[in-house]
Amino acid sequence: MTDVLELSPVDLEILRVLQNDARTSNKDLAATVGLAPSTCLDRVNRLREAGVITGQRAQVDAALLGRPLEAFLFVQVRPHRRPLVERFVAHLLGLPEVRAVYHLTGPDDFLAHVATTSAADLQRLVMDELTSRDEIARVHTNLVFQQWQGGPLLPPEDRRRTAQ
């Protein structure tokens, strides 16, 4: 189990601000959280080194990039063995349509979030890149009608403190 890093209220505020806008300058971030810019930069670097901040990325609109049809592909792999699973995941991650891959428990082994140009492109992806592989036992496809993003991910509140 991963150890939970003790974060100060200032660290949590830094994370909240950066999760809402990773482009916030260090100067603006420092002013928002009430620190000197050098101290703020040290805190951000400590959060990166500890693995709390794992990266920064641009979120793009798949539809505006010519991939308006998004879907979730639930995939069963048989036999479910590590060498086969590793090759399958590498195959998925090499496909330009794949936005994310999750290894699951339950009746399906994997969930792949994909974005394609059309229903025909989605069919091609499923037929040519998935069900044509010997290890794929089943693919179940759900189309995405609409998507919402959650807010910043912060540590759960200590229920003992809030209950007192």
Question: How far apart, in whole angstroms, are the C-alpha atoms of residue 69 and residue 112?
Answer: 14
For the domain spanning 62-144, the CATH number is 3.30.70.920
Residues of the chain with CATH 1.10.10.10: 9-50
Q: Tell me how far the alpha carbon of residue 116 is from its chain's centroid.
A: 18
Contacts of 10 (CB under 8 A, 6+ apart): 33, 34, 35, 43
**CATH entry 1.10.10.10 includes domain 9-50:** yes
Residues of the chain with CATH 3.30.70.920: 62-144
Return the pLDDT at 158. 59
Whether the model clears a pTM of 0.85, i.e. scores above it, the answer is no
Contact status, residue 112 vs residue 98, Cβ threshold 8 Å: yes
Contact status, residue 29 vs residue 40, Cβ threshold 8 Å: yes
Helix (H) or strand (E) holding 46: helix 37-49
Among residues 109, 94, 119, which one has the least CA distance to residue 140? 109
Question: What are the b/e assignments for 48-75, b being 16+ CB within 10 Å?
Answer: eeeeebeeeeeeeebeeeebebbbebbb
Question: How far apart, in whole angstroms, are the C-alpha atoms of residue 99 and residue 39?
Answer: 36
pLDDT in 10s for each residue of the chain, 164 residues:
467 788 999 999 999 999 989 999 999 999 999 999 999 999 999 999 999 999 998 889 999 999 999 999 999 999 999 999 999 999 999 999 999 999 999 999 999 999 999 999 999 999 999 999 999 999 999 999 999 988 888 877 754 444 44
Return the pLDDT at 159. 47
